[in-house]
Amino acid sequence: MTKHSKRERAKRAAETDRVREIEAAWRGSIPEPVATAFAQAVAAARARGPRERPADMAPGTAPNPPRPGHEPRPPKDDGRTRRRR
């Protein structure tokens, strides 16, 4: 966890308060039906939650072959052992 200085925490709190003031001013400047429709849309989006992460690859899709010259090495043969002289 990152520790922040007291000055930085105060700055962040002031920024958050300023954003809230701007949002309140914006909501006050739009007509009431538009504001309620927006609030309902926001509530519905928050109720849905985050989207489910899509799968990395479609089912049944073959993985990409390696680039030419970058093929994996064949496994070593255990039958070829070195002899000490």
Please spell the DSSP secondary structure of 20-48, one letter per residue. HHHHHHHHHHS-HHHHHHHHHHHHHHHHH
**Which residue type occupies 44?**
A
Q: Residue 4: exposed, middle, or buried by beta-carbon count in 10 A (0-12, 13-18, 19+)?
A: exposed
Name the residue with higher pLDDT: 35 or 84: 35
Domain ranges of the chain: 6-47
Give pLDDT tens digits for 1-55.
Answer: 778 999 999 999 999 999 999 999 998 999 999 999 999 999 999 999 999 887 7
Q: In terms of pTM, does the model score above 0.75? A: no
Average pLDDT over residues 68-85: 75
pLDDT digits (tens, 9 = 90+) for 61-74: 777 777 888 888 88
Residue 80 banded pLDDT, cuts 50, 70, 90? low
Q: What does the alpha-carbon distance between residue 48 and residue 44 come to, in Å, rounded to a whole number?
A: 6
Q: What three-state secondary structure class fits 53?
A: coil
